[in-house]
């Protein structure tokens, strides 16, 4: 079956530091890949997505590249801000299913200090 | 511009009580989903409805029932609540076509004593 593995957190950084959150996946089809962000007390918001190999998703300074050869979709940001503190979820959607059911990783908490 | 609306936002129940969590979306999406979120577990799919009139079990369906009332509304029912069902419940919706992102509500925080 499908699965998503994320690095465990919390990840603690100072403002303006470089961020990487690792995500690897296992899927038998050709999944679409997503990063979602969850701020305290809120639901999940789509941060970025990529639908095929070598696609790069980007939004709000965050980037992730769909690497089929390493089955990875690592999230990066060049300079984090305190407002980026949140929980980040990597997820995949199996295109074979015909639906949009998502398989999530367990989430990585990011804490950014001033 | 409501998106996905869940009610209630918070609820405390006693073991054995029943409750229905409500979800409505205004984005004309065909598919809707219910997840639970527990610490260290990520989100786990309880039930989903690919289109109006259909429902299917997800990863953790035991102890829950769902109703797709119409295209907009998808409710989750706990018939006899148990402490193990203490969790944050999220509803989501998406277009049916595979690979489309899901849009989430703000969640219902449910405690069962």
Find which of A44, A59, A73, A92 to mutate to test the B interface (most B CBs within 10 Å of its CB).
A44
Q: How far is B2 from chain A (nearest CA, A)?
A: 13
Is residue A104 a contact partner of residue A49, using CB atoms and an 8 Å limit? Answer: no
Label residue A23 by pLDDT band (50, 70, 90).
very high
Closest partner CB to B100 (pick from A42, A44, A100): A100
**Contact call for B107 and A51, based on CB within 8 A:** no
Q: How far is B80 from chain A (nearest CA, A)?
A: 26
Q: What percent of chain A has pLDDT over 70?
A: 95
Q: Say how far apart CA B111 and CA B80 lie, in whole Å.
A: 13
Find which of B23, B27, B43, B108 to mutate to test the A interface (most A CBs within 10 Å of its CB).
B43
**Contact call for A100 and B97, based on CB within 8 A:** yes
What does pLDDT average to over chain B? Answer: 93
pLDDT at B1: 61
Q: Say how far apart CA A2 and CA A19 lie, in whole Å.
A: 26
Q: What percent of chain B has pLDDT over 70?
A: 98
Is residue B113 a contact partner of residue B15, using CB atoms and an 8 Å limit? Answer: yes
Q: Say how far apart CA B40 and CA B92 lie, in whole Å.
A: 20
Query: Which has the minimum average pLDDT: A17-21, A67-71, A92-96?
Result: A92-96
């Amino acid at each position: 079956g499908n699965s998503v593995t994320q690095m465990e957190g919390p990840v603690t950084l100072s403002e303006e530091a470089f961020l990487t959150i690792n995500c690897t996946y296992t899927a038998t089809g050709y999944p679409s890949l997503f990063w979602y962000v969850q701020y305290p007390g809120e639901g999940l918001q789509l941060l970025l997505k990529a639908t095929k190999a070598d696609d790069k998703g980007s939004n709000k300074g965050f980037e992730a590249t769909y690497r089929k050869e390493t089955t990875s979709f690592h999230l990066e940001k060049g300079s984090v801000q305190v407002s980026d503190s949140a929980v980040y979820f990597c997820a995949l959607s199996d295109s074979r299913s015909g639906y949009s059911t998502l398989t999530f990783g367990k989430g990585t908490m990011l804490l950014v200090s001033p | 511009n409501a998106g996905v609306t869940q009610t209630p936002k918070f609820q405390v129940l006693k073991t054995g009580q029943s409750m229905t969590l409500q979800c409505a979306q205004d984005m004309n999406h065909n598919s809707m989903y219910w997840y639970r979120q527990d610490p260290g577990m990520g989100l786990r799919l309880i039930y989903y409805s690919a289109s109006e009139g259909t429902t299917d079990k997800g990863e953790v369906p035991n102890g829950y029932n769902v109703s797709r009332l119409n295209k907009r509304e998808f409710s989750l029912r706990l018939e006899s609540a148990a402490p193990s069902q203490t969790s944050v419940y999220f509803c989501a919706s998406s277009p049916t076509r595979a690979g489309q992102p899901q849009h989430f509500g703000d969640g219902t925080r449910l405690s069962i004593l």
